[in-house]
Structures are given as structure tokens and as C-alpha cells.
Structure 1
Amino acid sequence: MQQKSQQKEKNTKDEFSKYEILKDILLEVIEENDPQVKKVFLSLFESLSGDMQNSAELKALFQEISESEHLVGIIKACSLHNIILNIYEEQEQARIASVSRSIAAAYQALEEEGFDKLDCDKVLESIRFYPVFTAHPTESRRRTFLEAHQEITRELEKIENYFYTPDNVLPNKQREIQQSYDNIKYRLHLLWKSHLVRSEKLEVIFELDNLLFIVENSILPSALRVLNQVSNRLNKPLKISPIKLGSWIGGDRDGNPFVTNELMTRVMKMQHELIINTYINEINKLIRELSISIDFSQLNKDLEKSLQKEKAYLNQTSLKLHEREPYRAKLNLIKLKLQNHLLKVNSINDIDFTYQSPKELLEDIDMLIQSLDNTASKRLKSLRNLVLLGGFHLMQLDFREHRDMYLSAVSEVLCLLGYTDSDFSQRHESKKIEILNQALNDPPTNLNRILWDVSPQTRHTLNAFLRVLWAKKAISKDILKSFIVSMTTQASDLLAVLYLAYCSGLWQRGKIKKSESGETIIKEGKAGVFITPLFETIDDLEHAEEILEILTKNEHYKQYLKDSRNAQQIMIGYSDSSKDGGIFTSNYSLYKAISNLVKLESRLGIQFMLFHGKGGSISRGGGQLESALLAFPAGSVGSTLKTTEQGEIISSRYLNPKIAIRSFALTLASLLKKVAHDYFSIHGTDSSLTKTSQNNTTNQSFEAISQHKVDKYLPKLEELSRISYRSYRSLVYDTPNFIEYFKNATPIEFIQNLNLGSRPSKRKDTQKVEDLRAIPWVFAWTQNRSIMPAWYGLGSALNGFDNRELLQECYNDSIFFKTTIDNITQGFIKVDMEIAEEYNEFVEDFGLRQNVWGKISDEYKKTLEWLLIVRNENNLLEKSPDIRDRILARMPNIKALSLLQLELIKKYKSAKYEDLRMRLMEQIHGTIIGIAQGIRNTG
């Protein structure tokens, strides 16, 4: 082994290759476990890396492999190879992170455009990035594999550092390299011996455990690094964290019966415990470090008073030990208050000497900082930023439920109280609003008093509101902020939730009344939650304006908005709109809806905060977040970007701390540029915003840059959207028995049996596309390699428009159109129509098979032709060679797994007994996971 390591170092003297190192270690592992698998794997890789033609010989080879004893080994070899490709790619991203785009680079770019540094500082202080981590079943890896991924990454970084360290600096260089080499091999060996697929259904609490692992080990320290950078750039303490963390795990119960009130409470407590213990660990370090004596440091008067007031809470040992070390004494008192806060959450009695809010903790930290010099207070300042980031809640939960569940509960309560009969939910919209207005006019009903007078389902909903109220008081007012209404279709959907917030105490209405002397008394209201509509389908997006306009004219909702400081959160769904109308129409409808909401916001005088419900795949709003951000309509971001981070995207963006730092910094940098352009395009510019303001040609609004260029093409984009919509709907909704085709021409049957997440993979057994969940819908088309939802309809639209010069001009000048086309191209290059055609053969109905495949094949050809024309390329992504090479490097592995999957499905369909089917099902699941690793997303 020592000789191999030395030979490896010798062979890589000229060019260090992390990929070659990982590949060599993997081959060693494979050889030691099954030499024949290594031989077949290398042969496959060589064959598929050539012209990629699916010849008869190749088919015969895969049929032979599928029947051999080495089948599982080949699946695992291809899957592990995909994992090391992912690690290598992340390492390359981390390598360029320090020299690529960042907050500093954004400042430089803005200053070159004419923005003044002071104005950039103001924008940087105002922006917020709010990633919300969800447990949608798109992370195909087990935690075992996530941990191995992280450890292999660390060891690979060590090898690179050792490699470039001179021998005289590191005398034991070869031994250190060998140690890291062995550690990587150890991890890969264990993965070889482990199942790729979970054998049990994943519970919600385990989903949280997976997320908390990434949060604790990467997200928190990485976000803190970025906060410290921002604070240093502004050269002053931060007032609010520019990064806020959110989560749906434990709060998202739409379609997930396993998310109970008890589980939600447990999740909130676990998050609270983790962040408080994180602070305690940091304080323990500071207690050891800050041994500063009163003899050498002038004590701040506020700190001195605080110590005198609180020293009785120190035990005698601490009091004597720290009598002349006041900083240690104060830190011990802070630690005690935090420990008491942990006790307070579960205690029925009042706990003395604790914090009521993070603000009080920050005040204590500030007292210490103000009493120390810059050098001595360095780590305290970092702790201060950590508290701004994590609060007492760690991640702010969102509560999401389907509109029908809210309406069902409100209907029963209103019927019980005599406002209506049990047919409330069936009433006309105007009547529902009338009834809700009447109920909201009356004093709120105490929900605790009626809990046992309603059905278990309604009790479950009412209790959820009461649990949230408890958590806001016991843990943190920031523990949960948003009540999201899935599938919002009417104004009454939100008024129903407002009524429950009113009765639970989560909304305390502001009032204006007259005193006996005739003086006007204003009682400020408190809105503890955002009532957030989720507009998902194309139709819902088109009706969003109408719904919001009705609500702002309603006296009760108007008062609620006033109590919310005139802020209205709106969630925009990318998944269902794409399933509903196709990729291009979805993107255009979202762009148009957001543009219209910006205009409505201005007209109504309300501040909209848009929450973008994006998925990992292109067809669900995936792609580069930064480029999507810059393509949003002018004025639509405000100062806050709130977006979901789902499944495998969480690990790809945040598992590696270096990548996490890059992700946070890059998003803030893009947000800085976006908000700066939008703000000054709306408010215009003046002499303070341009270095050459005396030159009239530079003293202009940035509106021409960020808005008018896109507006110029909107009529053309509207036309493209209409053609694309008709083409997509013709296939998916108007083709008879299309669901039958989908169920047979994709491995959806096997995906539904895969233990990916806690949520059921389908709402109900149905023959309607509308009832299919967006994630397994996309996952299935991705696995059959047509990836149809990511591009279908675009080719017909571009072909129907048939004006290459105008389309190329639009691509060059419209940020929205360019971003949409680029994202679709990145998804389209992953398509393998040969594999998809093999899946097509599983459809027994000859007429259906020919009809659907003919449409998909024709649309593919049109899309390929027009993507090349619009992007002015001879080959897809030739102008983005790095992206192209990364994607194509994965294709041999993915093709091998796809061909094996096809053979296994054939065997499964012809299997005569259950034990064989179960064994084949497990093997098919292995190929599904492997392909997902290679393509780097599932749904």
C-alpha cells in the first residue's frame, strides 16, 4: 500500500487530480471485494464512454450482467462512482469559491457601475436570505452516506494540502497522505458493505435528525463565517442577521398524516435544545479563554452593575475563583441563564434567573464586548452574530396545511357556535365571507373550551394553533411565523385561517376607541403569524391578484394587515404550475404573476414578501438560485429572498462547509446586486449614486437596465407561453389514457415503494394527473431518462414562433428568457432518448404507445433543434464547457444503471413468485438511487 501511495504521488507531481485519487481508491475497494466486478465495471465504463451507442452487443451484455451473481456489485460500483464524482465536483466548486463571485466582488461590480459604497452598505444592511429546508422526499441518500460523503471530503482536502506542502515543512508527508488515503478507503469499503437503499420507512423525526446533522456541522458555522464577513465589511455590529434559517420538518402536514401536534412540539424543543447547547459550548470555550483580570482591564460600568446585581446566583466556588476575573464570572452567569431557559420550557413553575428573549442575551454579550478591546472581544462578537442567526429557535418553522383542512375545522366550529350549518364549506364565496365577518365581529371564542365538543380531526387542527401559541411564549416568539394555506383558491380560505388565529390568540386585534373624555385611544394589535396563501397552479396564479384585492378591502383582514405592519407573505409554487402547464408556461406564468403582484403591491400600499417554493429539478424551479434571482421582475424581491431548499439540494449546497460558505456568500452577493438595481431603478438616482454625476449621461435611472429590457419582449413571451401550454396540455391532459402510459413507461411503481421520505408518495390512487404529487411525477420521468417535464412544449413554442433572429435577440437581451432557456438546456442535455424508448416498450397498448412516443420523440427533435438555434451553438452547452463536461462525465455510469434497471424491470414483470419479486424490487431500488446520484436530483 505504501508503494501505491508513493507511486500515486510520483504520477501526480505535474498535475494533482482529486478525481484520479478517488477513482483509484474505489477500484482498490472493488477489487478487494470482487475482482470480477472491477473487470466488468471497467469494461462497461470504457464501452459507454465511447460513442455511447446502444448496440445489440451492449444490450446483450447488460442482459448477461442482470442474470449474473455480480449484478448487485455492478450497481453498487456505478453508484459509488457517482458519489465520488459528486465529491470531486464539489471540491472543484470549493476551490474556485475563494476567487470567484462573492460579496467583495459584488461591491466592486456595483461601484464600477456607478454605485457609491455608502449606498451599497445600506443595501447590504437591509437584505435577508431566508432558506427554508424541507423534507420533501428527494434526498435519496441515507445518513450513513451523507456522513461518509463529508468525511471523504475532509480527507481529500488533507491529501491536497499535504501534497503541496514542502517536504521540509512536513517531514512525515508520505505517512500523512497514506493515512488520509486509508481513511477514504475505509469509508468506501464500509459503503460497499452497506445497502444503498433504506430498508425501513423514514420517520419525520429521522428527517429532522438528518437535517440537524447538516445544520450543526456545516450550516451554522458556515453561515456564521459569512455573517462575520458582512459585519467586518460594514465595520459595525449587525442589528439583524442577513441570513435567517427556516424549516418545514415537523410543520408541513399537507398530505403527511405523520406530522402530529406532538411531533411538531418535539421538533420545536429539539431545535431549541440544540441552539441553546451550541451557545453553552461556545461560552464554555470563552470561560476558558477570557481569564482577563480586573487588574489589567477597566470594567464597563453597566457590566459592573450587572455583576453586583447577579453575583448571588454564582456558587461559592465560582464566586471565589472569578472574584478578580469578572468576565469569567459574567460568562458563568450567562451560561446559568441559558441552562435555566432549557428547564423553563418543560416546567409548570416559573424558573427564576433566565432569559425571556434572545435580545436579553445579546445585551449581556454587548456589555462584555463594550468592556473589552477589539482583540479581546473578537470571539464574543462572533458569538453575538451566532445569537442573531439562531435566536432561541434555531430554524423558524412554517406550518403548512391544505385549505380543505382549515375550512373543515372552521366549518365545524362555526356550526357548533351557531353561525352557520355544517354545509359552510359548500356555500357561495360571498356567503362564506359574510359568515366569517360576523364571527370576526364578535369576541374570540376560547378554543380550549370547545376542544372536546368537536371531532378528532378538528381538535387536531385547533390544538395546532394552541401549541404554536404555547411555543411562542415558552421557547421563542420566532419559533413559528407562517401559516401556509396550500391550494389557496378563494379569499375565504385565508379569512378562515384568520378566524382560527383570532380565537387562539395568535392575532390580537388592534383597536381604536374613545375615552370618557372623548380622547382617541389606539391599542396596537399583535399579529404573531403570517397567513400565507400558496398559489400553485396556473389558474391560481392568475387569480392571485383578485384574491388579495378582496382581502385588503375586508375590514378584518385590513386590520390584521395593519397589525402585521402592512406585510403580506405570499408563497409561489413552482412544482404544480409546471405539472399543470409545462416548463415554459410555468416559468412565464410565475414571472407574469410576480410582475403583477409588484404592481398590486404599489397600488394597495402593502409590502408583499414572496416565498418561492422551488424544488431541486429544473421542472420544479431548480437551477442556479443566483441567476434565477437576477431574472426576477424588478421590485419583486424587496429586501428578502425566502425560498425552499429541498432534499438533495440541501446536501449539495450545504453539506460541505466550504460549499455552504460559497452558497451563502454568493446568494447574498446576488441579492445585494439585485436589490441595489431594483431600489435605485424605482427611486431613481442622484449625485450620491454615481461617481461621475456631473456627466448627464450617467445620471439616469437603472430602470432601463433592470425592467424595460424584459418588458420589451413580454408580448412575444406571452405568445410562446400560449403555444407551449397547448402543446403540453395536448400530451398530458388531452391524450386518452395518458396516466396508463405514465404508469407503464416510467418506474413510478418502484419509486412509490422506495423509502425516501416520511410523506406518502401520492395523495390517492387516481387516474388524474392533477392528483399526482409533483415530486414523484418528475422523479419518474427523470428515471426513464426522457426527463419530459423539464422541456416538453418548448420546442413547439419556438418552432411555432419561427423567427430565429428575434429569438436570438430575446435570448441575448432578456434576462428572464435567457435564464429559462439556459436552465432547460442543462436539463435537456441529460435526456437519453434511447433509454426512454426502451421504457416505452413496457406499454402494452400498441396504439397508446405509438401515439405518446411519437409526440415525445417529435417534441424532442424540435426542442434540440431550437435550443441550438436560440443559443447559437452547434452542440448543447458548448459555450459552457465546464458545465457540459461535468454533466457528460456522469453519463456512462447513468447509462449503465439505466440499462440494468430496464433488464431488472423486465425480470420483475415476468417473475412467478413473491420472494423473487421482492429481491428484484430491492435491486431496482438500488439502480434508482444510483441514477439519482448521477443526475444529482430526483424530483
Structure 2
Amino acid sequence: MSSTLKLSQRETAFNNEVVTRFELYNSLFQTLPFYQVKEIGILLPFFSSHCEKGAIKQQSPTAIIESFFKKYVPDIDHREQLNRLFRFIQYIERQVVLFDAIEDSSFSKIGRPDDVGTLNGLLQAAATSDQVRDSISEKLKDFSLRLVLTAHPTQFYPGTVLGIMTDLIEALKTNDIGSIDVLLQQLGKTPFFNKTSPTPVDEAVSLVWFLENTFYHAVSGIQTKLEEEFDIDENRKNQLLELGFWPGGDRDGNPNVNTKTTYDVAVLLRQIIFRCYYRDFRVLKRRITFRGIEKTIATLEALLYENAFNKHQHNAKDLQGELLELLQSVRETLITSHDSLFVNIVEDLIRKVRLFGCFFATLDIRQDSRVLRNVFNYCTDKGIATGLPADYEKLSEEEKLQNITFNALNFLCPEDADDLTKDTLNTIMLMKHIQHTNGEKACQRFIISNCQQASDILQLIDLFLWSGWKAETLTVDFMPLFETVNDLKVAADVMEKLYTHPFYKEHLKRRGNAQSIMLGFSDSTKDGGYLMANWSIYKAKVELTAMARKYDINLAFFDGRGGPPARGGGKTHRFYASMGSEIANKQIQLTIQGQTVSSQYGSVETARFNIEQLINAGVTSSLNPDSNDLLSARQKTLITDMANASYKLFMDLREHKLFVEYLEKFSPLKLLSKINISSRPTKRNAGAPLKLEDLRAISFVTAWSQLKQSIPGFYGVGTALQKMKQKGDWDEVKQLYNTSGFFKTMLDNCIMSMSKSDFRITAYLEKDEKFGAFWKQLKDEFELTKALLLELTGTEVLMQDSPVDRRSISVREKIVLPLVIVQHYALHCLNNTTDKELIEIYDKLVIRTVYGIVNAGRNLA
């Protein structure tokens, strides 16, 4: 069967299972009696069609909206028009949920080109010979996968809506019309958003929903399958599958996080995992009703119930060992006295307790190096440090490394310290308490953002020693985060200074000579553009791997990836599958952010699929190393030339006098801070005027995606490819695309980003006196990039080789096109009125459109 035919079948299946069913249930949806919508459900198809026709004609959003009301509802005033637009938004938001649910319910039927990269692929490979099975088992001894949930403000659906979606997916699998009808009614009446901004703890609660409802089942299910098929050491030090958690621990990402937040989230994680265990235990208790186990069962029940429902326990401690001992006792009795009846139920709970302990997910602590330096200087000014030169702060980096001392103290933070100093020192002490109550793995990683020098880490270790920790029992991993293009260049040198420092060398030995390094995509993309960001990170990984191997360090990379390709997202598993032997790949660690959480891990089925793909990518890349994944010196030169050309164009754009003003005027950038989905500001230095360097990468990328221009995901790529063509290197670039998994994935993700762009919506700006030339500059680079990528890939349309994904994006973009039009209309109105009451309404109109556009895009922010 040909590849073309297979693709055609997938498209047919998608159209039948998803598009046709969406049209069917959407027609039912539009007739439901929702609050204050009256005839809106009937009017919406006309509005959507009108917007589509207007976009094709490249009419301005204002012209489209005004002509719609003139044609279809001519007798209402402007205020009532705005009211109708709000009702349209209310419907479209729910259409997005309906489409999500239908697509997820059809997941197993659609079939995708990437299906080969799952656990079944490994099992099929293992079935071919014992030698292959042994090779996979050997690889799995060293391999680990850690998924870290982060609280980035683009996870819009509250738990109530996620619950409805979960039930709706199940009803759609069997086309249960009655249940679907009721659930759609419930969806129509359920609020989507908060009236007030959530606290950091609220954000943690929202993400814990996924831990409890999807990851708990998906991760344990995959672990079970792996243990059944391969030789997995259940007592291995590094777990095969691990979960991480940032809400409540990430101070750099959220200045509103404090020590109490961290404590509350640690308590929450402990309580929720015990509730999961208790639910499973009730099934176990219902089945295991035999003599000789009653006392053990009663002890287990009391222990689980107390910890699941008594939130604050003064005598809380790590109970993982005790729980495993009790469960093992039950298991032994079943085997020896009861013919192993129901032993599988007990083994399932044992496996989960091993996986999740009393902590569920490791709570990472993160803080900016500049804050940590200030805290260190405060302590030295207070005379806490002993043995440091009086002018330590003014010493060079080399001199600091020679003079820093490591003396254990038991220093309490003075009352006159500022809030950041208090928080840092109190959190360091709290980490020890969390390890006592939830287990060592509960809180054992401290990430230093904006890490620029080795002393940033060594000084932080001193803060730990001054706060009561002892060097010999310092059960904490210190993890530098290199993110900007310049920081990535010096990362290997920084790490060599650490690997050769006597104290840090000893600390690493006690930690199993294991070092994790975090590399961030977001700020590097904002800092240097798409190609330069990806290439800088690749080169840094090669250099850091070589340095770690030089000093016999077991290196793991922790990738800070966002949802969109512009922040490291896209087809993530393909990146890991394409890592050559120059890059350490025994462990995969990455962040799961924003609406990517619900789109890729929103159900047990999709979570298992995406986790399995990452496992497969990590295992097969080392089992079957592709020589093409090792870039030759010539290929590296080609990519460097392209990255430099792209970087220059992107930096010229950033420095354009209209760059920030354009983004502020025509995107919802200034209003993102008013969206009640996050407890953190959209930019650093919240009170100061907007500067590009202060703008958080997530806000930067989101603003461009709302504009439907995706600049961070493609700008400069076309110019870079054109340069290669002009130099006569085009054939080599084509060969590179066809042979290098890294280069191909990087450009394919760029293509995905471009497929969600639509310059028709802002085409009216070409005639704008002030911004016309700037808009045309953006559009010209888009068209150049598109033309050269189509030529390079030998295709006629973007994403031609991924027809299911292309069709899904197409339908989603069609659903939210009216939202995009409404947003631009409201922004235009905002820029042309001084009426305070109307300004408030326009603000709300813009804000409401943001949710649906991002949710439909699935990886736009």
C-alpha cells in the first residue's frame, strides 16, 4: 500500500470521524436554550460565513463587523451590537471545546503518521529477537523520562469544564446522543473563566487535576507494561518515569509565590496522592476479604484515610516505606495462602506507591540568579559568612571561586530583611521539612534562572549551609538554567569550573555524579529568533555533553519548552528521536506548559500516547543511531550561516522603531495582564513602561499568535534560505533537510507555526500611513519563507505531509476566525474612543476573544 494512499485514508477517517460529527453535534449545540442567547445560535453560522467571506476579500475587521450588522440585524444600536458579539464569543468558546472532545474521542480511530513511535513499536521490535529485547532492557536501565507541569498562564479550562470534557469524550465514543445533549447543555451553562485572578495555589489546584485524573493512570499503566515486557529493576535509584511540578515553587516565573505557597502546594500534592491511593484501596478492600489479612488491611485503611482527608498533620512524615511494607505483606499472604487471588490489584497499588511516594510530583524551586546574589550579599553584609574576604563582592569570578568557603551554620533570617531575602532563606529551610514529610524526592531540585557564572551555584550552596543543611547530607540538586543566546555560548565553560571545583566535585559524588542542566527555549527565541534559538541550544548541548564526558559526569538536559514551536514546542518527540551521539540522551526531561497540558495530556489515552512517543524516541535514538543525526563540519557551517542570517534580520526587526508600538496597538499585549487566568504579571518590572527585554516570552509569543502572524516562529527563516540559494548551497540544504532529523524537525515545526498564520486579517494595514511599510515587511518575509519551504520540501501546501494535523488546524482556524475578527475590531474601537465606559467594554471584548483563539490553536502560547 502506497504512502499516498495511507495518507488519503487518514484524511478520510478524520473527515468522517471528526469533521462530519462536529458539524452534526454543532447543529444540535446551536439549538440549545442557553442563558441570554435567544436567536444567537441561529445567527452564528451567518456571522461565521460573513467573517470568512470578508477575510477572503481582505476587508478590515471593522468593515466586516459593521456590514454584518447592517445586513442581518440593522435595527440595533452599537451597545446591543457589542452584546451580540459577546454572545457569539460565548458560543464559539464552547464550539472549540466540542471540537476538542470529538477529536479526542476519535483518537484511536484516526491513525497518525507518528503512531509508529509508541510503546507498541518497541514491543514489536522486541518480538523480533531476544537480542533486541535485551538491548531495549539494557537501554531502559539508564533511561528516564521526567515530565514537569508548569504554571504558565495559558491553561484556560477550569476543572469544571475539564470534567465535562472528560465525560463528553466518553459519550462521544459511543455516540450516546442523550448524554451528549445533556452535557452540551451543562457546558453552555458552566462558566469558563474566573471573575478574579487565581492565586498561585489556585493554579496548582488546576494542574493537580491532570495529575489526579490523567497522569496517575497513564504513567502507572505505562510502567506496568514496561515491567511486564522488559527487565526493569524496581529498586533502581532513578525512576524510569517521573513527574515534576512548578506551581508553588517557581518564584522566577511568578513573583507572587512565597514560602507559604510552597508549603501549601506540598501539602496539597501529598493529600491528593493519598486520595488516589485511598480510591484504589477501596477496590482492593472490596476484593480481598480473606482470613489472615484483616489487621494489615485495617492498618492500611487507617493510614491512607488519615493522610487523604486530614489536610494538616503536625506529625506528617514520609510513609512510602511503611506503605510498601504493608502492601508487600498482603501480597505475600495472597501468594502463600490464597492462590495469588487478586494479587494483581495489590501489585498495581505497590507500583503506584513506588512511582509517586508521598509527593506525587517533585516540587521544583526556581529563582533568578540576581535575586540569589542579592541574598548572598545581604548575608555577607550581616557578617554571617566566615572566612570570606571583606571585598568578596568586588572580586573577579576566578577570585570568588578561590576564596568562597563552605561553613555550616544555623542562621535565622533577621526581621529587617526584605521580602525576597526572607522568602529565599525560609524556602531553603522549608525544603528540608518537605523532604521529611513527603520524601526526599518531594523537593530536591533548585533551579537558578539566568545563571551566568559558577559562583551563582556555589553561593547558593552556601545559603543552604548557612540555613542548617550539612554538606554531607545536602540532598539537593543544583540546576543552572541557561536561556539567552549569550548565556548558552558560555554554558560549557561555567560547568567546567563547577566540575573542577573541589567542593562541588564532592557534592556531585554524593549525588551519584549526576548533573541536570536546564536549557530554555522561550527567551532565546525572543532574544535571537527561531533559527538562532534552536541552533544555539543544539550547539550548547553538544558542548555541555563533551564537557560532562570529559569529567565522567552523568548529564541530563532539562528542556524548558513551551507549546508553540516558537518556544520549543511542536513535534517534541521528533527532536529527541533526532539527537545524535554527540548529545547526552539517557534522560529526557521537559516542561509541559499552558494549553499543551490539556491538548496533549487531557485524557488518559492522549497522555499515554504522548508519553509513549517520548519513551520510544529516547530508546530508539540510542538503539538505532542514525549516522545522519551526526552533523558534519560542513553541515554545521551551513546551519550556522543560516542562523546568523536569520539572527541579523530578526534583530533588525526588534530594533525597528515601530516594533513594540505595532505589537501594543494591534495585538492584545497590553490587556493580557487583565486576563484572570494567571497570578503573575505579563512582564517583569510591572510598574515600568513596556520594554521588550522585560516582556515575558510567553506574552511575546501569545501577542504575535493573536495577530495571526507568528513572527517568533518563522521570521528570518526565508531570508536565511534565500542566502543559501544565492551562495549556490541550495542542493546541500535540500540534502540536509532530507537526511538530518534535527534540521528537518526544526523546519517542519516552523511550517506548523506558519500554518496558523493568516495575514489576510491584517491586510488592511498595508494602506496604513504609519504602519503600512512595517506590515508589508512582515508579510514579505512570510511569503518568502513559505515559498522557499515549499520548494525545499517538494510540497504544494504547508504541512502537506501531515494531512490530518493540517486538516485539524484548518477546521480550528475556521471556528475561531470570527473571534480574531472581533478582537481586531475591538482593538480598533479602543484606539479610537475616549469614552471610559466603552473602553471597559472593548477591553472585556478583546480579553474574551484571547481564550478561544489560544484554546483552538492548542500550542499558540
What is the DSSP-based 3-state SS (H/G/I as helix, E as strand, rest coil) of the residue aligned with 1:756?
coil
* AA at the equivalent of 1:597: L
2:762 counterpart (824, 836, 840): 836
Q: Does residue 491 of structure 2 align to residue 544 of structure 1?
A: yes
Deviates most, 712-721 or 32-41? 32-41
TM-score computed with the length of structure 1 as normaliser: 0.82
Q: Where in structure 2 are the equivalents of 1:808-847 lying within 5 Å?
A: 808-838=734-764, 846=769
Deviation (angstroms), 1:29 = 2.1
The structure with the larger Rg is 1
What residue is the counterpart of 2:818 in the other structure?
896
Conservation of the 8 A alpha-carbon contact between 1:75 and 1:926: yes
Return the alpha-carbon distance in structure 1 between the equivalents of residues 753 and 491 of structure 2.
Answer: 29
What residue is the counterpart of 2:330 in the other structure?
368
Change in CA separation of 1:180 and 1:711 when aligned onto 2, cut-off 3 Å: farther
Deviation (angstroms), 1:421 = 8.6
* AA at the equivalent of 1:829: S
Deviation (angstroms), 1:131 = 0.5
Q: Does residue 253 of structure 2 align to residue 291 of structure 1?
A: no
* AA at the equivalent of 1:257: P
Change in CA separation of 1:421 and 1:752 when aligned onto 2, cut-off 3 Å: farther
Q: Does residue 457 of structure 2 align to residue 494 of structure 1?
A: yes
What residue is the counterpart of 1:782 in the other structure?
705
Change in CA separation of 1:31 and 1:556 when aligned onto 2, cut-off 3 Å: closer
Q: Does residue 735 of structure 2 align to residue 805 of structure 1?
A: no
What residue is the counterpart of 2:657 in the other structure?
736
Deviation (angstroms), 1:37 = 2.4
Return the alpha-carbon distance in structure 1 between the equivalents of residues 302 and 34 of structure 2.
Answer: 56
Deviates most, 340-349 or 824-833? 340-349
Deviation (angstroms), 1:427 = 4.4
Conservation of the 8 A alpha-carbon contact between 2:48 and 2:817: no
Return the alpha-carbon distance in structure 1 between the equivalents of residues 52 and 392 of structure 2.
Answer: 63
Q: Where in structure 2 are the equivalents of 1:43-122 lying within 5 Å?
A: 43-47=46-50, 53-56=56-59, 60-65=63-68, 67=78, 68=81, 69-96=83-110, 101-109=117-125, 116-122=132-138
Conservation of the 8 A alpha-carbon contact between 1:584 and 1:794: yes
Deviation (angstroms), 1:785 = 0.8
Change in CA separation of 1:712 and 1:124 when aligned onto 2, cut-off 3 Å: farther
Residues 435-481 of structure 1: CA deviation (Å, up to 9, x unaligned) = 4x2x31xx312123x54474443222111101111111232111111
Deviation (angstroms), 1:237 = 7.2
Q: Does residue 772 of structure 2 align to residue 772 of structure 1?
A: no
What residue is the counterpart of 1:617 in the other structure?
564
What residue is the counterpart of 1:872 in the other structure?
794
Q: Where in structure 2 are the equivalents of 1:306-345 lying within 5 Å?
A: 325-338=291-304
Return the alpha-carbon distance in structure 1 between the equivalents of residues 108 and 17 of structure 2.
Answer: 18
* AA at the equivalent of 1:593: A
Conservation of the 8 A alpha-carbon contact between 2:50 and 2:68: no
1:217 counterpart (204, 208, 213): 213
Change in CA separation of 1:456 and 1:810 when aligned onto 2, cut-off 3 Å: closer
What residue is the counterpart of 1:311 in the other structure?
none
What is the DSSP-based 3-state SS (H/G/I as helix, E as strand, rest coil) of the residue aligned with 2:515?
strand
What residue is the counterpart of 1:228 in the other structure?
224
Return the alpha-carbon distance in structure 2 between the equivalents of residues 228 and 211 of structure 1.
Answer: 24
What is the DSSP-based 3-state SS (H/G/I as helix, E as strand, rest coil) of the residue aligned with 1:610?
strand
Return the alpha-carbon distance in structure 2 between the equivalents of residues 149 and 538 of structure 1.
Answer: 40
2:140 counterpart (112, 117, 124): 124
Number of paired residues?
820
Change in CA separation of 1:749 and 1:672 when aligned onto 2, cut-off 3 Å: same
Uncovered stretches (5+) of structure 2, i.e. residues with no partner: 1-15, 70-77
1:469 counterpart (414, 428, 432): 432
Conservation of the 8 A alpha-carbon contact between 1:31 and 1:38: no
Conservation of the 8 A alpha-carbon contact between 1:713 and 1:814: no
Return the alpha-carbon distance in structure 2 between the equivalents of residues 528 and 635 of structure 1.
Answer: 30
What residue is the counterpart of 1:565 in the other structure?
512
What residue is the counterpart of 1:136 in the other structure?
152
Change in CA separation of 1:21 and 1:554 when aligned onto 2, cut-off 3 Å: same
1:659 counterpart (570, 586, 606): 606
Q: Where in structure 2 are the equivalents of 1:639-718 lying within 5 Å?
A: 639-677=586-624, 702=625, 705=627, 707-708=629-630, 713-718=635-640
Return the alpha-carbon distance in structure 2 between the equivalents of residues 282 and 592 of structure 1.
Answer: 46
Deviation (angstroms), 1:85 = 1.9
What is the DSSP-based 3-state SS (H/G/I as helix, E as strand, rest coil) of the residue aligned with 1:533?
strand
What residue is the counterpart of 2:199 in the other structure?
203
What residue is the counterpart of 2:410 in the other structure?
446
What residue is the counterpart of 1:394 in the other structure?
360
Change in CA separation of 1:915 and 1:217 when aligned onto 2, cut-off 3 Å: same
What residue is the counterpart of 1:188 in the other structure?
187
Q: Does residue 832 of structure 2 align to residue 910 of structure 1?
A: yes
Change in CA separation of 1:477 and 1:662 when aligned onto 2, cut-off 3 Å: same
Deviates most, 573-582 or 201-210? 201-210
Q: Does residue 404 of structure 2 align to residue 482 of structure 1?
A: no
Residues 207-243 of structure 1: CA deviation (Å, up to 9, x unaligned) = 1111122221222122222222122213777335422
What residue is the counterpart of 2:279 in the other structure?
281
Percentage of identical aligned residues: 23
Q: Where in structure 2 are the equivalents of 1:848-887 lying within 5 Å?
A: 849-887=771-809
* AA at the equivalent of 1:460: D
Return the alpha-carbon distance in structure 2 between the equivalents of residues 578 and 15 of structure 1.
Answer: 37
Return the alpha-carbon distance in structure 1 between the equivalents of residues 318 and 559 of structure 2.
Answer: 33
Return the alpha-carbon distance in structure 1 between the equivalents of residues 17 and 492 of structure 2.
Answer: 58
Deviation (angstroms), 1:664 = 2.2
What is the DSSP-based 3-state SS (H/G/I as helix, E as strand, rest coil) of the residue aligned with 2:149?
strand
Return the alpha-carbon distance in structure 2 between the equivalents of residues 782 and 729 of structure 1.
Answer: 19
What residue is the counterpart of 1:433 in the other structure?
401
Change in CA separation of 1:823 and 1:56 when aligned onto 2, cut-off 3 Å: closer
Return the alpha-carbon distance in structure 2 between the equivalents of residues 675 and 481 of structure 1.
Answer: 28
TM-score computed with the length of structure 2 as normaliser: 0.89
Conservation of the 8 A alpha-carbon contact between 1:745 and 1:839: no
* AA at the equivalent of 2:431: V
Change in CA separation of 1:910 and 1:607 when aligned onto 2, cut-off 3 Å: same
Q: Does residue 792 of structure 2 align to residue 794 of structure 1?
A: no
Return the alpha-carbon distance in structure 2 between the equivalents of residues 56 and 341 of structure 1.
Answer: 61
Residues 592-649 of structure 1: CA deviation (Å, up to 9, x unaligned) = 1111111111112111111000001110001122112112343534422111001111
Deviation (angstroms), 1:415 = 2.0
Return the alpha-carbon distance in structure 1 between the equivalents of residues 60 and 684 of structure 2.
Answer: 42
* AA at the equivalent of 1:429: E
Q: Where in structure 2 are the equivalents of 1:508-587 lying within 5 Å?
A: 508-509=470-471, 525-587=472-534
Return the alpha-carbon distance in structure 2 between the equivalents of residues 328 and 409 of structure 1.
Answer: 54
Residues 856-879 of structure 1: CA deviation (Å, up to 9, x unaligned) = 122112101111011111211222
Residues 841-862 of structure 1: CA deviation (Å, up to 9, x unaligned) = 8x8xx45x24432321221121
What residue is the counterpart of 2:347 in the other structure?
381
Return the alpha-carbon distance in structure 1 between the equivalents of residues 738 and 26 of structure 2.
Answer: 40
1:603 counterpart (529, 547, 550): 550
Uncovered stretches (5+) of structure 1, i.e. residues with no partner: 1-13, 160-176, 293-324, 510-524, 678-701
* AA at the equivalent of 2:465: Y
Change in CA separation of 1:637 and 1:381 when aligned onto 2, cut-off 3 Å: farther
Return the alpha-carbon distance in structure 2 between the equivalents of residues 54 and 188 of structure 1.
Answer: 35
What is the DSSP-based 3-state SS (H/G/I as helix, E as strand, rest coil) of the residue aligned with 2:439?
coil
Conservation of the 8 A alpha-carbon contact between 2:579 and 2:629: no
Conservation of the 8 A alpha-carbon contact between 2:563 and 2:859: yes
Conservation of the 8 A alpha-carbon contact between 1:48 and 1:892: no
Return the alpha-carbon distance in structure 2 between the equivalents of residues 342 and 15 of structure 1.
Answer: 41
Deviation (angstroms), 1:665 = 2.3
Residues 565-594 of structure 1: CA deviation (Å, up to 9, x unaligned) = 211110000000100110111111111111
Residues 496-549 of structure 1: CA deviation (Å, up to 9, x unaligned) = 11111222344x33xxxxxxxxxxxxxxx3331111100010100010011011
Q: Does residue 670 of structure 2 align to residue 749 of structure 1?
A: yes
